[in-house]
Amino acid sequence: MTKVLVTGGCGFIGTNLIIKLLNDRKNIVINIDKFSAPSNNFLVKKKFKNYHYYKFDLLNKKKITSIIKKVKPDLIFHLAAESHVDNSLEDPIIFFNSNVISTVNLLEALRKNLDKKFKFIYIGTDEIYGDLSLNSRKSFNEKKSLDPNNPYSASKAAAVMMIKTWNKNFQFPSIITNSVNNFGPFQFIEKFIPRSILLGIKNKNIEVYGKGGNIRSWISVKDHVDALIYLSKKGKIGETYNIASGHKLKNLDLAIKIKKILNHKGFNTKVKFVADRLGHDRQYSINFNKILKLGWKPKTLFDLELNNTINWYLDKKNIQNFKNTKYHLTRKGIN
């Protein structure tokens, strides 16, 4: 049996990762999650064999140490993080504490209480590389220097530097991953795709920042968690891997895709331009040849997965999985 520790397992990517991990009966999954506003209770409500949930904050160093000593994990996926750029513009300190200090606490608990036979997989973001001009055809590979542009990406970049330091100085067995934007079931409503869907369901306008020309790359969460598990088996310790699928869209074009699907399903929604985000990054684009050469490749079709995602949010029972069921769709980070 492989003991797999997942931090932030009640979040969007964490929930999807744990569901896939539990499909393998050889895995025992331990989930640590403080259960914050974006969390969902899908894994809390249902009972799964070989699954254990511990509710606490990674800022609690004593609790982390106690769990590590008790569980002695073979594999760790570190996903726990504050992740919304708009929120980071409103309260950067929370992002520093959750994304940097918590990561260091976990690194030290593992380093001091386990031998070097475990693997530590860090789930990062393409935003740490900075952005490109809208007409650029470049893409950043894993050797690109870090150049974050907002408190969220700065905190994720700081965590990456900590992990690299632990790997170099303490031979800490880590692998760093940087993914493009994810979409799929269990994503909290504050993010662009679910927020657009829920505004459309209410027959309100789908809001697009600025003129909608900002470009993002997207990957189905199914492909992302598949890549993470693949790297846990095939990835090389000390290396960084970009994870993407090749689906790149202007925000306006994505909003139009969502609008058309919702219109086809009987919802009367339109696209509306709203005030731009502070310091809104123009284009994210990463090169993911490294993981392709390792043997992994994305499997899902973007338009099909987008339709499946919209259907998931149309089911009111799924919305009830979120802790914050009395959600509001007010945007943040504009002043």
User: Who has greater pLDDT, 330 or 94?
Assistant: 94
- What is the predicted pLDDT for the residue at 116? 82
Pick the range with the lowest mean pLDDT from 15-29, 121-135, 228-242, 311-325.
311-325
241 sits in which H/E element = strand 240-243
pLDDT (tens digit, 9 = 90+) per residue, 74-98? 999 999 999 888 889 999 999 999 9
- What is the predicted pLDDT for the residue at 10? 96
Over residues 276-303, the mean pLDDT reads: 95
- What is the predicted pLDDT for the residue at 46? 77
pTM: 0.95
When pLDDT is cut at 50, 70 and 90, the band that residue 325 belongs to is low
By percentage, how much of the chain surpasses pLDDT 70? 96
Find the distance separating the first CA and the last CA of the chain, reported in whole Å. 50
- What is the predicted pLDDT for the residue at 93? 97
Over residues 250-258, the mean pLDDT reads: 98
Q: Which residue out of 33, 82, 126, 305 is catalytically annotated?
A: 126
pLDDT (tens digit, 9 = 90+) per residue, 1-31? 999 999 999 999 999 999 999 999 999 999 9
Q: Which residue out of 122, 129, 152, 241 is catalytically annotated?
A: 152
Query: Any catalytic annotation for residue 313?
Result: no
Mean pLDDT taken over the chain? 94
Over residues 206-224, the mean pLDDT reads: 96
Query: Any catalytic annotation for residue 127?
Result: yes
> CA-CA distances (angstroms) from residue 330 to 86, 127, 159, 173, 189?
11, 24, 29, 42, 10
Q: Which residue out of 33, 127, 142, 190 is catalytically annotated?
A: 127
When pLDDT is cut at 50, 70 and 90, the band that residue 331 belongs to is low
- What is the predicted pLDDT for the residue at 45? 82
Query: Any catalytic annotation for residue 226?
Result: no
CATH topology of domain 2-184+218-247: Rossmann fold (3.40.50)
Residue 29 DSSP label: E
pLDDT (tens digit, 9 = 90+) per residue, 292-319? 999 999 999 999 999 999 999 999 899 8
By percentage, how much of the chain surpasses pLDDT 90? 87
Where are the chain's structural domains? 2-184+218-247
> CA-CA distances (angstroms) from residue 140 to 143, 224, 287?
8, 18, 5
